[in-house]
């Protein structure tokens, strides 16, 4: 059901410093910050030949990333995102298998439908699915 790895998301306490580090030390192609108010984050994508890295930074006081950074002040991996052909079919199959879907299908940073799966159902890892 899952396709390729779309991105690995890293919550960062200082977005500018993280971008500068990847741009300078690693020579990465770093995109521009993009506010995602529906998700409470500002994101920056780093393009790699085989996938992307997504920096997550809190946007507003109710950002879920703010809570993550309180527990992990240095930042850290927040989630991984896999591509799926049909997000509704994937959701229904996962629910039938007993997986917990967090919230409803929303439009993500790539303007495509996304949903999240409970980390306790996937070896402690928050999983995002994105329809391609």
Give the rounded distance of the alpha carbon of 114 from its chain centre. 10
Which residue among 36, 83, 128, 130 is the active-site one? 128
Burial grade of 78 (CB within 10 A; 0-12, 13-18, 19 or more): buried
How long a stretch of residues is the chain? 132
DSSP 26-59: S--EE---EEETTTTEEEEEEE-SS-EEEEEEE-
In a 3-state reduction of DSSP, which class is residue 119? Answer: helix
Give the separation between CA 8 and CA 4, rounded to whole angstroms.
12
User: Catalytic: 128?
Assistant: yes
> Active-site residues: which are they?
128
């Amino acid at each position: 059901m899952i396709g390729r790895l779309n991105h690995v998301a890293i919550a960062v306490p200082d977005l500018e410093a993280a971008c500068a580090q990847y741009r300078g030390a690693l020579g990465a192609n770093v995109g521009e910050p993009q506010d995602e108010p529906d998700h409470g984050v500002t994101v920056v994508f780093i393009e790699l030949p085989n996938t992307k890295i997504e920096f997550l930074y809190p946007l507003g006081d109710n950002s879920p990333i703010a809570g993550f950074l309180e527990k992990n002040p240095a930042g850290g991996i927040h989630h991984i995102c896999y591509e799926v052909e049909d997000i509704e079919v994937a959701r229904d199959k996962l629910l039938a298998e007993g997986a917990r879907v967090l919230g409803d299908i929303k439009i993500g940073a790539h303007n495509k439908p996304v949903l999240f799966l409970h980390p306790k159902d996937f070896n402690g890892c928050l999983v995002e699915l994105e329809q391609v």
